[in-house]
Structure 1
Amino acid sequence: MNFDEYCQQKAAPPGSSSYYALRQAPAGRQPLLTALFALRREFEETVKETSDPTIGRTKLAWWQNETAALAAGKPSHPVSKALAAHLGDVQTEYAALQALLAGFEMDLDQARYLDYPNLRRYLQDVGGNFAALIARTTAQDPARAAEWAEPLGHSLMLAQLVAELGNDARHGRIYIPIDEMQRFNVTAADLINRKYSDAFTELMRFQTKRARDGIQSALAALPAAERRTQRTLRALAALALALLDEIERDGYHVLHQRIALTPVRKLWITWRAARQR
């Protein structure tokens, strides 16, 4: 298996949302985009699929060294080798890659957030920073891509947190700010024990609306000159909006299951989104 095949299997197996979103990108940029998605997946697995924080920190330290090796032109991991082959000047994105890693490191440092301003740093590094990385690969004006990509990345991450609320809670991570849970009279124990209630429904309606409004506002702010260049991000946004609608229709029953779209529906949504003007 070569490094491109590894990245494809890691980041975008057939039927996944990323698989269909990446297929909307220009063919010549798909290997790079796939490598970036694979790197994010590697970071995510390091912190979210490791039960022992000590082991997680050891793995993150390895990735810090590997990122430095990538910047020095001496990568050893298949994903790093793919980035070295497709990214071009790695130094230009080195700080962004480090910030992405630092964002996931926060999952080892804290499992709760006092309020939304505290959560925003996580959303910035893990969501906004990643969206800007993706945007710059195809943008007509890469230097300004962060201005409109980061808000979209924030909101895409919020949508992901809504969809994965139950699984995250079972692993000890609750990304809904504490003050918002208190406002709606929902406790951490309610989430961990999969307790549905009218209060939980209202909390989720609030979380879903914030994510949806953020995505729609970010799409509206996307420069006209960049709409055709950002087919992957637009496809991801369309998938997130469709999934939020599905979660809403299901009554926000995300504590005991992971609600998902069918592959056929994902194909149609991404194809249509990438071609809308």
Structure 2
Amino acid sequence: MTSLSVSDAQAYCTALTKKSGSNFYYSFLFLPKQRRAAMYTIYAFCKEVDNAVDEPPAGSNPQDELRRWRTELEAAYRGTPTFPVTVSLASHVKQLSIPRAYFDELIKGVEMDLVVSRYASFQDLSLYCYRVASVVGLICLHIFGPTSARAQDYAVALGMAFQLTNILRDIGTDAAQGRIYLPQDDLQKYGCTEQAILQRQESTELRTLVQFETTRAHEYYAKAQAAFDALPACDQKALTVAEIMRAVYFRILQKIEGPKYRIFGPRARLTTSRRLAVAAGVWLRSRSS
């Protein structure tokens, strides 16, 4: 067992989350202190596992890094973690009864980036989106409170919507790494070539494809809305932070849809002040309903 205290481990996770500048960070501020700490830890775990593939330590092998994280995850559930993130994680998963299987799925999803750089169909892409995004939503339900089947439907749909938004936002940066997440059969349907995307060439065909994929993302936001509307009022209020995330990401999707948006230009984002304004608006509406 590491000599690192749980409070020091939590401080590490909190600092990592703040430093990230994530769209999610400002929504976490609306959580009670203990739940906010849990969210910081979950975010830190996701970030460090992702970095094991995207930014591995010098001289290390990403597969070896993921093996280390699998070992540490097992240790966290045994109560013998050694990494700062897993020391903090161990206390939260025990208190919140978060299934280990969700974290196993997340690591499998991140691992897909090592072996898969193309997806033949949306069905294939859906598995990736589920693993890297929807399961994170399922984890978060244990922090927010509602874990019913309907709440799980909400989390899965919202995770899909978020990841599709990420994919659309990051077409250019992913292409620079040789990755194309847009389904191959959709590229063929709209007459887009891999080479055009990898060479960052905007075209009418690509914009039409992006419009099709944004419509698909809208469908998942709508599925999440339908599941949310079916929840009792107490569960809806408990999911306010998730709704803040949804509002922020939905506005990013709207930017991607804008007529002036350049697919290979700067990433679509909201300013800090805009994110805070969106968050405050959702929070106030949840408290007045």
Does 2:232 correspond to 1:224? yes
Paired amino acid for 2:285:
Q
Q: For residue 120 of structure 1, what is the aligned residue in structure 2?
A: 126
Kept in 2, the 8 Å contact 1:47–1:104? The answer is yes
- How far did 1:126 drift? 0.9
Instruction: Give the secondary structure class of the aligned counterpart of 2:61.
Output: helix
Taking the aligned partners of 1:170 and 1:160, their CA distance within structure 2 comes to 15
Paired amino acid for 1:32:
A
Aligned to 2:245, which of 236, 240, 249? 236
Taking the aligned partners of 2:159 and 2:98, their CA distance within structure 1 comes to 20
- Where relative contact order (Cα < 8 A, 6+ residues apart) is larger, the structure is 1
Q: For residue 14 of structure 2, what is the aligned residue in structure 1?
A: 8
Q: For residue 112 of structure 2, what is the aligned residue in structure 1?
A: 106
Q: For residue 170 of structure 1, what is the aligned residue in structure 2?
A: 176
Aligned to 2:64, which of 44, 58, 66? 58
- How far did 1:20 drift? 0.7
- Greater displacement, 42-51 / 80-89: 42-51
Kept in 1, the 8 Å contact 2:10–2:37? The answer is yes
Taking the aligned partners of 2:254 and 2:211, their CA distance within structure 1 comes to 11
Paired amino acid for 1:229:
A
Taking the aligned partners of 2:55 and 2:80, their CA distance within structure 1 comes to 27
Aligned to 1:210, which of 211, 216, 223? 216
Taking the aligned partners of 1:58 and 1:228, their CA distance within structure 2 comes to 42
Q: Cα RMSD between the aligned structures?
A: 2.3
- How far did 1:224 drift? 3.3
Can you list the C-alpha shifts for 1:160-184, whole angstroms capped at 9, x where unaligned? Answer: 1111111111111111000001111
Distance 1:123-1:196 versus aligned 2 partners, 3 A rule: same
| Number of residue pairs matched by the alignment | 277
Can you list the C-alpha shifts for 1:133-156, whole angstroms capped at 9, x where unaligned? Answer: 112212234576323211111111
Distance 1:5-1:52 versus aligned 2 partners, 3 A rule: closer
Kept in 2, the 8 Å contact 1:162–1:208? The answer is yes
Instruction: Give the secondary structure class of the aligned counterpart of 2:263.
Output: coil
Taking the aligned partners of 2:257 and 2:236, their CA distance within structure 1 comes to 28
Taking the aligned partners of 1:231 and 1:79, their CA distance within structure 2 comes to 26
Which aligned pairs between 1:60-75 and structure 2 lie closer than 5 A?
60-75=66-81
Paired amino acid for 1:224:
P
Paired amino acid for 2:125:
L
Kept in 2, the 8 Å contact 1:135–1:233? The answer is no
Aligned to 2:24, which of 18, 22, 30? 18
Q: Percent identity?
A: 27
Distance 1:119-1:54 versus aligned 2 partners, 3 A rule: farther
Kept in 2, the 8 Å contact 1:128–1:153? The answer is yes
Aligned to 2:42, which of 21, 28, 36? 36
Kept in 2, the 8 Å contact 1:11–1:18? The answer is no
Distance 1:204-1:88 versus aligned 2 partners, 3 A rule: same
- The normalised TM-score by structure 1 is 0.92
Q: For residue 4 of structure 2, what is the aligned residue in structure 1?
A: none
- How far did 1:212 drift? 2.3
- How far did 1:14 drift? 7.4
- How far did 1:24 drift? 2.1
Does 2:148 correspond to 1:148? no
- How far did 1:49 drift? 2.8
Kept in 2, the 8 Å contact 1:84–1:90? The answer is no
| Long gaps (5+) in structure 1 | none
Instruction: Give the secondary structure class of the aligned counterpart of 1:82.
Output: helix
